[in-house]
Structures are given as C-alpha cells and as structure tokens.
Structure 1
Amino acid sequence: MGLNNCKDRSGGNFVEAVVCQESEIQENGMKVCEFGRDQVLLVKQKGVISAVGTKCSHYGAPLINGALGDGRIRCPWHGACFNLKTGDIEDFPGLDSIPCYEVEIQSGGGVKVRANKRQLESSKRVKDMKTRDPKNDNVFVIIGGGPAGQVCAETLRQEGYTGRLVVVCAESVPPYDRIKLSKQLNWTIDKIQLRPDAFYKEHGIELMLGKEAVSVDTSKNLVTLDDNSTVTYNSLFIATGSVPRKPDTPGSDLENIFTLRNLSDAGRISKALTASSKVVIIGTSFIGMEMAAACISTCSEGSVTVIGRSDVPFSESLGKIVGSRIARLFTEKNVKLMTGVTVSEYEGDGTRVNNVALSDGSKIPADVVILGLGSTFATGFLKGSGITMNANGSVPVNEFLETNCLGVYAGGDIAEAPVYAANDQKKTIGHWGLAHYHGKIAALNMMSASRPLKAVPFFWTMLFGTSFRYAGHGSYDDTVIAGDVESLKFACYYCSGDRVVAICTVGKDPLAAKFAELIYNGGKLMKRDLAEDPFAWATIPIAATGKPQEATPATTEESAPAAAEETPASDTPSAN
C-alpha cells in the first residue's frame, strides 16, 4: 500500500472522492477513473498509486495509451514525458506540465483522490516561476527565439533565477509553434505563439524582438546586436537554429521562388498560391514533402510536382521500403514525383519564374517554386568570438551543453551534442522536441546544476493524415518490417548488427514511445528479440535498468477512445 504525496498547498476549495479499489490496478498498470465531472489517470508502480491528468499537455493525446517508464509516462504521439509523482514535464515537446493529485489508500482498499478545484479546470499546468528581482544584478542572455530559447527562459525562472533575463529574437514576433507552418500557411501570430505577451511581462522575461546578434565577445562577456546596442552577460545560451539553404542555380533570384522557415515566409507563400497554381517543390526533405501535401489541397485546379535527387524519398533516413510507400502515398494523392534528377535552371519572363529546367532536359511549368534543400547553421556571427565551431558551422558542446568557453552554452540545431541513444556520440539533430530538451538542460546548468544530457531523439511527421513516428538514432545495416506496409500499419526496426538502434511506426502507437522509453532507461532491443514476435518486447514493463522485469506484462484498464489526431505537422523546422 503506497501514498502519493503530490500535494497542492495553494489553498482553496478541494474535491475528493474514492474512485476505485486498489486491487483494480495491477503493478505497472494504468486506469482512467471518473472524478466528479472530470477524469484522472491512476498509475501503480513500485506499490505506489499516482494520480495525474489524463491528457498530454502538448496536443491532448490520451496518456493511458502512452508508454510507462520508470516513474514517468511518455505521450504516444510525440514523446513528451511527465513525472508520475509531480506531473512535471521532463521531456518534450510542449511547455506545460500536467495536473497531479493527492492519493490516499483507505483502510478498506479504496483509492481516494483529492484535488483543488482549480486543478480540474485545465489539462495543463504552468510550473511556479519567479520573476525579476531588481536587486539581482546578474544578466543571463539567450540568443534565439525558438523552442530551445523559450524553454531555457522558462526553466531559469522555474529554478529560481531572479536576475535580468534577455531573449534576443531575430523575428519581430514572440516565439511561436513553428512546426505548424508546413501544415497551414496563413497563420497569424496570435494563433500560434507559444505564450501570450502578458506571460513574458509577468515573469520578467525581456524579449528583444526584431534584433539579431552580430557578434559575441567572450573575453568581455558582450553580445552586440544589429542596431549596435550591446548586452553584457554573466551566462549565455546560444540557440539560433538554422537558415534554409539557397542554391546558386541560374534563375534562383526570380520572384515566386520561396523557402519556408518563418511566419513571414509562410505568409508570402500563402499569398502567391491560388487554386490554379502550378507548384514545383525542390527537394524530398520532410519540409518539402509536407509542403507538397499542404499545397495539393490549396491548388485543387493546378498541380504539385516534387523534384528529388534520390530515387526514393527518405531512403537514407527511413529506408527504401518505407520511403517507397511514402512515395506511393503522394502519387495516390495526385502529387507528381520526379526523382533522380536535379534542377539545371529556373526560367522566367525576366521577373517571375515560369519553368523549372531539369538535368534530364525536361521542363516543368511553375508559378510557384518552394525550396526544401536542407539548411545551414545560423552561427556566422560567432566567428572571432572565441567559441569553437566545426567547419560546417555547428558548435561542439559537452554533456552539459557548455562550449569551450566557460558559462557559454549552445543548444538546438546548432549544437553538436552527445546523444544518449547513440552511445553519447556527438551529433547535430534538428528536432523540435530535442530543442526543447536542450533548452531545459542548458538552463539547469546555467544555474550550476551539473545536469548531463540524456537525449533519446523522437521525431514525427503527418502526411495526408497518416502519422509517422521515429524514435532512436544511429546508422543501420538492416531493417526488420513487422506489420503491413501497404496498409500503413507497421513498425520498421533499424538494426546495426544485432542491435535495434531506431524504430519507425505507422498505426502502431505507442510502439515508438515504448522504444524511446526503453532506450532512455538503459535497455536494449536486439534483432533476435524480434524473431518470434516482433511486438512482444513492448508488453513487458520497463525497470529502472531498462531490462524487462520478472512480472506480468504492463496492463491498462483499456485503451482510450479514439481521440482527435494530433496536428498534422512534423518536428523538423526547429529553428531554435
């Protein structure tokens, strides 16, 4: 019999009720119970029953369908993790924690849940935060208004930092949910910004909007901005993300040739598109393919063509079998794919593009061209700063995200950082959720917490209403397919030798989340484990070591009813 000490000490009106019997929940089991007009999720682990909110704070996924780890639960859709004892968010995406309620086991075995009424008003919870104390002369500066910068700022205030806190944002708008841009182009900032304007004022977070850092002098702890103003710092976090790669192909300066990185880009593309537009997308990157999916519905009387250098989209990252099925998914939706070719010239009338000439001699009519050719690191301003950079512009950091300069940290796209899922090899990974996590770890270490990274990448995309999830990281030499690729209900295991290093799933939730949690807890999945039943491993509880416990498979009362699927976007454009 255990007691969960998740107490709300804020006062106010409370609601309490016996929601079930302790015997109804097995060890490592989960159960959704009615609680007045609301519901709570009960989880039993190590003899203790915890009660938390039922929905992920990111896009509302039902957590009963998630992956139960050691003391936390991972969202089945996008991989966010929440502590069972506190409800605090521990891995990302998303900014908010979830409610956590008091639990008491009564003498007769009844499970009594107690909650402040205010806790039941929302499925999200903002952690307590400090604000600016004028007596604290310290200055922490964050360069970058993406998810890494946002989470870093919030975590600093949550951890008790009361000095001046400056966030330098190149865009003229507050940080926003950038991954929505490749789903829908005509957003306004008020619909997608991560926090309302009042949030920053309330917590003493100083946003410098529309300003770019042009240099950093680590010998003087000085950041110079593009208006010649300067900011002196005690600690610095750099998370400037990436910028779209632009080719020097003849004609690439013609009008109506676009890249997509920010809200302004999305607005320009939206304005150029009409129902009869002939759209050509260059590159079979995730951004390129997502844009093709978005454009085909808008350009119902026109056409959408994707030009790719490789024979199969995503063949390197997802393998030819999965990549080929994605290609067919697009052709089934009337998107034309032209693979194995490159662009030789953009032709126009002297002002605006009207044709794309290809390496095979063919020409594709085009009113709008969207480039999805990858990106480069936005770190040019760091030259001469004393901060070590790699030849490609990325910034090597240690397990604490600290650069070679004391008190200077880097995260998000630009950071060549250790990846726990890849045996702590240093990698640059441009994932939305990982950028959030970098922001948290950087903030903790700016506060002298000495918290090392423990990164397990989790990626997702949605194409024509079909969700693809990918967890793990590493090169592979073989794949094992379980399920039916054609009907888009499968798991693809990526193997290096006998070890499974990553997984891609479609219609198999929460398998990707289970794999991510297994790896996070120090476990391994071997190819030989898949031979008899490729899904059996996911039914065994995850112990702290990541090894299967000698216990009955983890159970849930039932799967939640089909919920509204997550917003159709991917986590690729992190711009952190």
Structure 2
Amino acid sequence: MFSSCINRGVRKTPSTGTSPSRSMGQNSSRGSYSLNQTNNVQDRPGDVSIVEAVVCSTNDLENGQMKEVEVGEHKVLLVKEKGQFYALGNKCTHYGAPLSKGSYCDGVVRCPWHGACFDVRTGDIEDFPGLDSVHTFQVEVQDTNVLVKADTAAFNNFRRVKKMSRYEPSDPREVLIVGGGPASVVCTETLRQEGFTGKITLVSKETDLPYDRIKLSKTLSAKADEIALRKEDFYRDSDTTVLLGKEVTKVELGAKQVELSDGAKLSFTTLVLATGGRPRKPDIPGVDLANVFTLRTVKDANAIAAKFKDKHMVVLGTSFIGLEVACAMVSHAASVSVVGNSAAPLLHVFGREIGEWIQKLHESKGVKFYNSNSIAEFEGQDGVLTTVKLKDGTHLQADACVLGVGVVPSTDFLQGSGLNLTDNGYILVDKNMRTNIENVYAAGDITQFPLACAGNESVNIQHWQMAHQHGRTAGLDIAGKGREISSVPYFWTVQFGKSIRYAGYHHGYDDMILHGNLSENKFVAFFTKSERVTAAASLGWDPVVSQFAQLLAKGGSLSKEEARQDPSALADKLNKS
C-alpha cells in the first residue's frame, strides 16, 4: 500500500512516484478519472487537512466487491460497482460496526450487526437503525492505481448529519407529529433534510426527549439524556417545536386540530400519528400491588433498577423484554424466576430448539424457569408484593415482579375519529404510511401496513428498525418525494452477550433448517413456508442474516433446497440477484 498526505493544501508526492492526476471528472484518454467529488463533511473549517492514499489496483476488486482499506491512519470502505470505485466511512452510524464485514449489493451496503443500510454513492442512510449517514470520499483512478482522498475532519466524527432546511414563516404548512419514539424523530428530520420549510411540532406525553427505548431492558439504570436519540440543540437547530408532557386526547379531523389533556388545542395541515404502544397489564388478582412493574419508560426502568439488588425477582413473560430484563438482573438479584405460558422461551419466534438453548444459557447464569405456566395471583402484605402464586400451585418469593407480556396500541383516543382501525386498534395504512384520511399519516408500532417481502400482506411489525423506516417513509411523502416502503424486518436480541440477529417475516412458518451447533454458540436458522425461506436467524455467523435481508430487499428469494446448502453460498446468490 502506498500513501501520501496533504496538510493545509501542501501536496506530497505518493511513494509510487506517480504524479496524482489533477483532472476532474472522467477522462479515459488520459487513463484517469475522478469520482465522489463531494466530501460531504458538514460545517467544514476554513483550514482543510487532506489525507490521501493509493489503496489498491483497479484489478484488485471485482464488480460488486468491497474491502476495508487504509487512508493514512484511518479505515475506509472501498466498493467497486460497474467499473467505478466508491469510498465511504467504514463504521455503521448505529453502534460503529465495520461495514466491510457486512453485505453489499447494487449500490447499498448493509451493516452486519443490526441491518442499517447506506448508499455507497452518497453515504446516505437508507435503512435503520441509527439516524445518521456516513461520509464519502473522493476517488481517483490513475492508470491502474486507485487513489482515495479524504478530509481528516470526517474522521473526527464518523456520523454525518445531512443538511437540513429551516422554518420559513411564509410557508403556511403545519405538520403535527404525535408521539415520542423513533418514527416521530425520523419523520421530523426527513422533512427538514428534504427541504420542508413549514412548521413542525412534535408532541410527546413523556417528559423526556425521545430516547433509545430498546436499551431500557438491557440497562435498567439508563438515564434519558444518556440515551436520547437527539439532543435538545438538534431540535432547536432544525426549527422543530417539541412539546413534552403533553398527551393528545382527541383528534378532530374535520377541524384539523387535536386536543391535549390540558384542554389546549393545536392545529395542523398534516398529521402524523406515532403514539406507539402501552404495556399490556394482565387481569390477575393483586396486579396493582406495589412493586409489580411494567417496562416502557425510563422511569419504569429506573424504578425496577432501584428494587432488584439482592432481592427475589419474578418476570412474567418469556419474550424479548422479559428475557433481557432477566439478563440485566440476575447477577445482582438474590434470585430471578421467569414464568411463561409456552414450553420454551421465545418459542413463537425461534422454535423449540433455539428456545431451549436460550433457556439453558439463562439457567447457566442462575435464572430459573417455570414454563407452560402462568401467574394465578399476586399476594402481598400492607399493599406490597411478597409472593407470586402460579397456576400449578407453586408459590415464589417475590420482592418485585416485572410484567413482559406485550403491548397494545395507544390508539384509544382515535375511536370514532373516522380513521380505519383494525379490531385490535391498529391503524391501517398504505405503503406510503397514508391513512384513509387525506394528509393524515401513521407510523410505528400502531400501524398495520403492506409488507413487501411477504407479498404485501397487511401486518403489524413492532421492530425498532421498522419504526424508523415508517417515519422516513411518511416524511418523504409529506415532502413530496414519496417512496413506497419496501424495508425488510430486521431485529436482534442480546442474551448474556450473545447477539441473535433476525431478518424477514416468518408468521405461519412450517419448517426450520438449522446449520451449525447450538452448544458452540454458532448457528444459522432458515424458517420456511412451503418451499420458500421467509426468515433467517443467526448467532456468530455474520453477515448471513444481513445477506438474506439484502436478498429480500432486492426482490430475490431463497428456496428451501438452497437453504439446505452452506449458508456462505448466500453471498453468491446475492451477487446474482
């Protein structure tokens, strides 16, 4: 590898002895062309420090291939597509995963850990989680050498916020966004990033700025400002009015206004509903005793954190929240008991084999399970929980209990509004997140929408990633740049440091093909319906789930017979899609 540096405009000749071409734009007659002209570093200082390096030969990469290269002391992702080279930041803006270890297809690189996608030409984020884009860098081809130039300011912060417009008082449009989750935040920034200059107001019944809610079950002591999706100055800089501690209690679609719990009214020209869910509270005697908790907010998590040290804890529910809370508590609690009505944890998600492996993992850390069971009664003294009685008659000592039995949509206030709701209270939307009422959108956990990778079946997907994408889709449509949602569901769960990835939609699956060895904490599971793979899950086998998600996103498919082959063959399948 050859490298050279330019600092404050002073050029040093590359050690290859080849003079860098000064041509801008393609010039094949001179054997040199330049790509990715824009560095897209926001607020670049007046003094520009450039680092550059010859990173490879033009023949070192095939079309559709990517690799990590070094530019100075920094890692950069290099991609070759249709004979052209692109360079961009190599860290995913969610948790910093190396994108070079992810999946690539047709101009989009997907993170190996949690599925975020980035356009290699612009660096813009295309799918989530995470909010920010990555930097792109200038590429020049000199004869057979591939030269990458980068402004070192881009390496100071690998996250890039796209340029945003501001409010113009002459613009009469008013977008009102109801809800304090990721769908609301992404909708807000998408509007400003796409040039929307009308008024934007975000209303949340929580008293904290929108935060990374999925961290709560993993880190119960987390503080709202530590996990905020955006800081206060971000909303100020984007001219977004944020009203906290305000709950919308009524929507008057004809009058284009909403009523708040304090009696105040807010008008809108466009309404976005993203109120999320509220924890399901089962009808069990004693459920209102002190120290019986649900988990939805920072305050809920902190209240649980204040109770579990050296205490006897019971968790009701063997899905994601219940199991992640058990992981967080067991090393500090006197005991942790998990009660569930299925034969194994996460049975409906991963099947019996993986569910039993998850249970053994928990048991090895001290968690005790009571499967195919439920809580018959919460017993207490002086209004405080002391004992949990199970359906089979077992009594468990309990200083506190965490209820993790799902959520219901927070849409009660919409009954009779004229919006089309399902019997379960979900809002029906189309592929642009539009409801049946003009200029009214819905996003996130409260929606039922057409899922592209499931043949446009109308589904409810309560994934963190999907809520982001809903917000983006609604924002694009409101800004006049509509793009139908085609995102593939992608989620993950961390169980005692073991991160299981999942992509697809396997409701009604009839078989599972398992590769690897569960006892060695390495596996890939393909879930099939008839002769087609509808979802994939993995542990320790990156980036196979991201490759599968990419395949579905590009309109491809995987047959049951293909799923029986080595999972590494997915890379070849993806390249041919």
> Shared fold by TM > 0.5?
yes
CA deviation string 1:320-360 (max 9, x = no partner): 11111111111111100001111111000031000001111
- Partner of residue 523 from structure 1, selected from 552, 556, 559: 556
Which residue does the alignment assign to 1:565?
Answer: none
CA distance in 2, matches of 1:455, 1:80: 11
Which residue does the alignment assign to 2:14?
Answer: none
- Partner of residue 169 from structure 1, selected from 204, 212, 218: 204
- Partner of residue 61 from structure 1, selected from 72, 76, 97: 97
Matches within 5 A, 1:527-542: 527-531=560-564, 533-540=565-572, 542=574
CA deviation string 1:127-185 (max 9, x = no partner): 00011112222110110110000000000000001111000111111011111111111
**Other structure's SS at 1:101 match:** strand
Which residue does the alignment assign to 1:98?
Answer: 134
Q: Relative to structure 1, is the Cα distance of residues 6 and 333 closer, same or farther in structure 2, using a 3 angstrom cutoff?
A: farther
Report if aligned partners of 2:119, 2:126 keep a CA contact under 8 Å in 1.
Answer: yes
CA deviation string 1:427-457 (max 9, x = no partner): 0011001100000000011122231110200
Which residue does the alignment assign to 1:24?
Answer: 60
CA distance in 2, matches of 1:129, 1:507: 39
Which residue does the alignment assign to 1:285?
Answer: 319
Which residue does the alignment assign to 2:429?
Answer: 397
1:8 and 2:42 correspond: no
Which residue does the alignment assign to 1:328?
Answer: 360
CA deviation string 1:456-475 (max 9, x = no partner): 00010000000101100032
1:86 and 2:145 correspond: no
How many residues align? The count is 540
Report if aligned partners of 2:105, 2:550 keep a CA contact under 8 Å in 1.
Answer: yes
**Other structure's SS at 2:226 match:** helix
- Partner of residue 141 from structure 1, selected from 176, 196, 203: 176
1:31 maps to amino acid: K
CA deviation string 1:4-59 (max 9, x = no partner): 33513777415133232222222222222211221211011111111000110000
2:360 maps to amino acid: R
CA distance in 1, matches of 2:375, 2:290: 17
CA deviation string 1:260-316 (max 9, x = no partner): 001110111111222x200000111110010011110221xx000000111111112
1:8 maps to amino acid: N
CA distance in 2, matches of 1:242, 1:527: 35
1:292 maps to amino acid: A
1:290 maps to amino acid: E
Report if aligned partners of 1:457, 1:471 keep a CA contact under 8 Å in 2.
Answer: yes
1:144 maps to amino acid: G
Matches within 5 A, 1:468-479: 468-474=500-506, 475-479=508-512
Report if aligned partners of 1:6, 1:85 keep a CA contact under 8 Å in 2.
Answer: no
Which residue does the alignment assign to 2:3?
Answer: none
CA distance in 1, matches of 2:350, 2:453: 17
1:231 and 2:263 correspond: no
**Other structure's SS at 1:24 match:** coil
Report if aligned partners of 1:240, 1:378 keep a CA contact under 8 Å in 2.
Answer: yes
Matches within 5 A, 1:139-538: 139-274=174-309, 276-299=310-333, 302-474=334-506, 475-531=508-564, 533-538=565-570
**Other structure's SS at 1:442 match:** helix
Cα deviation, residue 541, structure 1:
5.9
Report if aligned partners of 1:6, 1:86 keep a CA contact under 8 Å in 2.
Answer: no
Report if aligned partners of 1:224, 1:230 keep a CA contact under 8 Å in 2.
Answer: yes
Query: Whose radius of gyration is greater, 1 or 2?
Result: 2
Which residue does the alignment assign to 1:571?
Answer: none
Report if aligned partners of 1:396, 1:403 keep a CA contact under 8 Å in 2.
Answer: yes
1:454 maps to amino acid: S
Which residue does the alignment assign to 2:155?
Answer: 120
Cα deviation, residue 509, structure 1:
0.5
**Other structure's SS at 1:540 match:** helix
**Other structure's SS at 2:216 match:** helix
Q: Relative to structure 1, is the Cα distance of residues 477 and 3 closer, same or farther in structure 2, using a 3 angstrom cutoff?
A: farther
CA distance in 1, matches of 2:135, 2:466: 23
Cα deviation, residue 536, structure 1:
4.2
2:35 maps to amino acid: N
- TM-score, with structure 2 as normaliser: 0.91
**Other structure's SS at 1:123 match:** coil
CA distance in 2, matches of 1:39, 1:325: 37
CA distance in 2, matches of 1:104, 1:293: 50
CA distance in 2, matches of 1:402, 1:6: 37
Report if aligned partners of 1:3, 1:49 keep a CA contact under 8 Å in 2.
Answer: no
Report if aligned partners of 1:280, 1:366 keep a CA contact under 8 Å in 2.
Answer: yes
Gaps of 5+ in 1: 550-576
- TM-score, with structure 1 as normaliser: 0.92
CA deviation string 1:518-549 (max 9, x = no partner): 00001110011133x23143231635xxxx26
Which residue does the alignment assign to 1:568?
Answer: none
CA distance in 2, matches of 1:448, 1:122: 31
**Other structure's SS at 2:94 match:** coil
Report if aligned partners of 1:3, 1:48 keep a CA contact under 8 Å in 2.
Answer: no
CA deviation string 1:182-240 (max 9, x = no partner): 11111222211111111111110111011111011111111111111111111111111
Report if aligned partners of 2:528, 2:560 keep a CA contact under 8 Å in 1.
Answer: yes
CA distance in 2, matches of 1:267, 1:324: 30
2:537 maps to amino acid: C
Report if aligned partners of 1:80, 1:91 keep a CA contact under 8 Å in 2.
Answer: yes
Sequence identity of aligned pairs in percent? 41
CA distance in 1, matches of 2:290, 2:387: 12
Gaps of 5+ in 2: 1-27
What is the alpha-carbon root mean square deviation over aligned residues?
1.4
Report if aligned partners of 1:217, 1:386 keep a CA contact under 8 Å in 2.
Answer: no
CA distance in 2, matches of 1:536, 1:508: 9
Report if aligned partners of 1:131, 1:157 keep a CA contact under 8 Å in 2.
Answer: yes
Structure 1, 112-121 or 468-477: larger mean CA deviation: 112-121
